[in-house]
Amino acid sequence: MRRKAENRVDVNSYSPLVLAYLGDAVFELVIRTRTVREGNRQVNRIHHETVHYVKAETQAKLARHLEPLLTKEERDVLRHGRNAHSHTMAKHAAMIDYRMATGFEALLGSLWLSDRRDRIAELVSEALDWLEREEGAPASPAPPHASSAAFSEGSGTPGGRETRSPAGRLWDSAGQKPVIPEERNSGR
């Protein structure tokens, strides 16, 4: 097994579009996990809820909200992703939204490759909380049967306990940090 130091990645050596490719998968997984944890439902309903968050228009809104909260390095990654010239475009998105969404995905891909799962969780949580406030009531609240006890076993968080926010995202036992899917099973 390799040591973590040997796995260090220079994210600057990757094309912004490659980072966006990875970031697209990261965001999709976070959103799908969040949506599925809200309760067992028809897959079609889960899919429609997920699409609302992962479409370019919504990702562009999230990126614009987060931009002032980013570090200089993170803003640079967002800008490089936004300015990257892709030969494709989403079918139902304005070019400006598509490019901003690409920047958002590049940022998430960069953070993922840098093993900054904590920062991904922080940014995504802030962005989704803001979006839900902007849209009114939470888009999909946690079902009443969801309790923290259902998520306490082997969570990998300090104290082994997690709780749910009103919007259904998991939080560590101190209620300080959102837990993203990869962290739950890695034992970090």
CB 151: neighbour CB atoms within 10 A? 20
User: And the tokens for 90?
Assistant: 């989403």
Return the ∠ at Cα 142 (arms to 155 and 64), rounded to 5°. 90
Angle at 180 between CA 52 and CA 123, to 5 degrees: 65
Residue among 127, 128, 80, 121 at smallest CA distance from 102 = 80
Using alpha carbons, select from 125, 168, 174 the residue that is nearest to residue 146. Answer: 168
Residue 118 is among the residues annotated as catalytic for this protein: no
CA distance 183 to 75: 25
Identify each DSSP E strand in 29-140 by its residue range: none
Of residues 10, 24, 97, 172, which has the active-site annotation? 24
- Residue 23 — φ and ψ, nearest 5°? -60, -35
Residues classed as catalytic: 24
